[in-house]
Amino acid sequence: MRMFGLLSLVLALVIVGMLAKKQLATAAAPVLPAVPGAAAPAPGEAPADARTQARQMEKQVKEALDAAAQARKMPDDN
């Protein structure tokens, strides 16, 4: 009876270990989300680094805010 309990415990630990290894393997190389409107790198070319993507996103947000501010301008009622 003790052997059955010990084998069950070892089997459970092996399963948990395999699942943990699988989860850590997928979390080790996270995929960065693509910046909308940014050009994708050519095949064989390295993707843009995080700073370049951050600058591109910052530029896009600024342009969107400027466009929204331009659309909201109303003529003065004098």
For 25, what's the count of Cα atoms within 13 Å in the CB-facing half-sphere?
6
* Domain ranges within the chain, ordered by starting residue: 1-30, 33-72
For every one of its 78 residues, what pLDDT tens digit does the chain have, with 9 covering 90 and above?
788 899 999 999 999 999 999 888 876 555 555 656 656 655 655 556 788 888 899 999 999 888 888 866 666 666
pTM above 0.75, yes or no: no
Give residue for tokens 């909308």.
36
Q: Which of 30, 27, 25 is nearest to 47 (CA)?
A: 30
* C-alpha torsion 16→20→26→32, nearest 10: 130
Contact by Cβ (8 Å): 53, 32 = yes
